[in-house]
Amino acid sequence: MKFGLLISATVFAARLAHAVPTSIADVIMSHASRDGIDLSESNTPRTTRARLHESEDEELETSSTFTAHAEPDWYRNVAPFTGGNADRNDGGGTPSPAWNVSSHLDFMDTIGISHSVLGFTSPSANAFLGDKARTVALARLINEQLAAYARTYPDSFHFFAAMPLPYTDEAITELKYAVTELGAVGVALMSNHEGHYLGYDSFTPFWQAMDGLGGRQVVYVHPTTPWLNINETWIPANPYSDIDESRMEFYMETARTFIDLTLKQTIHNFTNTHFVLPHIGGAFPTMIDRVLKTVHTELYESSLEIFRTRFWWDSASPTYFHQINGLLAYDIPKANLLYGTDYPFISAAVTAADFDSIMAYPGLSDEEKEDLLSNNYKILFGDKLHFQ
């Protein structure tokens, strides 16, 4: 099936919103053609068209915000695993769960959350390793889909845009389109893109473009499969296969890419850019002293200052039972703590238990817990978040 046929998913979503032209498919194709993206000729496995259903206008009791994953049917057929190469139909991760907008809104209502900043999880646009054309096309379709959700449910959704790295020039084009034309409030990067961590030298023009957009830019970094390319064969570098990589290896991936960003001084050089770390940084906080107190000691104090000011720490997963204490030992301001979930990859019951652990955490006052759910997001995003 052609990628172009998947446009029906975003067309259906967009037509639920007000003042959207009936020729939206033509607009999407026209914009893609203008940017050198061929949506009609990039073949994918047979997919299921996404279905959106108009929600009732509900007044939720809270004004809290969280980051969460979108996983429409068409994408789940493209990438059936969290992580992995669609052409190989593997990846060693968790099978992608069923998801739709109605169930997501129901989940938000259940735990008292009114706003979601949506993004696609691993592998995001990197479902076809080594295939530039399909990576670029898939990033565009992901972003058109997320923009359609945000237009259709402006009181509930904003979104992080997917980027077709490691193809830097194409990623810069997509960055500008997603932020300036589609209304993305930030971008979602993977911990590595085809085995290249985010401090990779060839990514420097992308960071320059991001920083050059002006004002505060927000980058959400999600862990993904650690890939090795050996003799043109992609191999998931998960040395412990008894447990799926999303449970343990993903934490190591977060550490790898943020150590890379630190040692390459990407975070030092591009000062408009703020980073959101899910799982309150995974294994990264554990590695800070080990790396920066033993080698590159000259970066220690300046890096800590960045970790305390331009890093934002998302709570997704069971992070407030014990893990949070290790992070706060670095004197991370509590104003930089955010609420996030791994829904729908973690069940609603487990997510509710995680939420309860935050509410029961003795290291935060009641006011700080309220800020974690709402005000800290407003500080991070500023006027990027607009709810009607």
Please report the DSSP string for 35-91 in residue order: TT--SSS-B-S--PPP---PPP----S---EEEEE---HHHHHH--BSSS-TTTT--
Q: What is the mean pLDDT of residues 325-331?
A: 98
| Mean per-residue pLDDT, 313-328 | 96
- Are 318 and 44 spatial neighbours (Cβ–Cβ below 8 Å)? no
Quote the CA–CA distance of 173 and 200 in Å, as a whole number. 19
User: Percent of the chain, pLDDT > 70?
Assistant: 83
pLDDT tens-digit map of 6-21: 544 444 444 434 444 4
What is the CATH architecture assignment of 61-384? Alpha-Beta Barrel (3.20)
Residue identified by tokens 């890093």 is 311
Q: Report yes or no: 131 and 193 within 8 Å, Cβ to Cβ.
A: no
Residues 139 and 152: their CA atoms lie apart, in Å, by 20
Nearest one of 151, 163, 179, 122 to 10, comparing CA atoms: 151
> Of 119, 127, 152, 140, nearest to 4 (Cα)?
140
What pLDDT does residue 8 have?
46
Averaged pLDDT for residues 21-47: 68
Residue 313: band (very low, low, confident or very high) from pLDDT cuts 50, 70, 90 = very high
Where residue 377 falls among pLDDT bands split at 50, 70, 90? very high
Question: What Rg value do the Cα atoms of the chain yield, rounded?
Answer: 20
Q: Is the pTM of this model over 0.85?
A: yes
Neighbours of 353 (CB within 10 A): 13
Cβ atoms of 60 and 114 within 8 Å: the answer is yes
Q: How many CB atoms sit inside 10 A of residue 152's CB?
A: 22
Instruction: Tell the residue number behind the tokens 């990438």, with chain if given.
Output: 79
pLDDT digits (tens, 9 = 90+) for 203-239: 999 999 999 998 999 999 999 999 999 998 988 888 8
Q: What pLDDT is stored for residue 84 in this prediction?
A: 52
The yes-or-no verdict on residue 118 having pLDDT over 50 is yes
Which whole number is the average pLDDT over 95-100? Answer: 86
Q: Which of 348, 201, 354, 337 is nearest to 278 (CA)?
A: 337
Q: Do residues 254 and 282 lie in contact, with contact meaning Cβ atoms separated by under 8 Å? A: yes
Range from 26-40, 87-101, 267-281 that averages highest in pLDDT: 267-281
* Pairing relationship of beta strands 217-222 and 233-236 according to DSSP bridges: unpaired
Q: Say if residues 62 and 104 touch (Cβ distance below 8 Å).
A: no
By percentage, how much of the chain surpasses pLDDT 90?
62
Model pLDDT, residue 240: 78
C-alpha triplet 190, 193, 198: angle, nearest 5°: 70
54, 104, 84, 253: CA torsion to nearest 10: 140
The reported pLDDT for the residue numbered 2 is 47
pLDDT higher than threshold 70 for residue 333:
yes
Q: Is 70 exceeded by the pLDDT of residue 387?
A: no
Is the predicted pLDDT of residue 45 greater than 50, yes or no? no
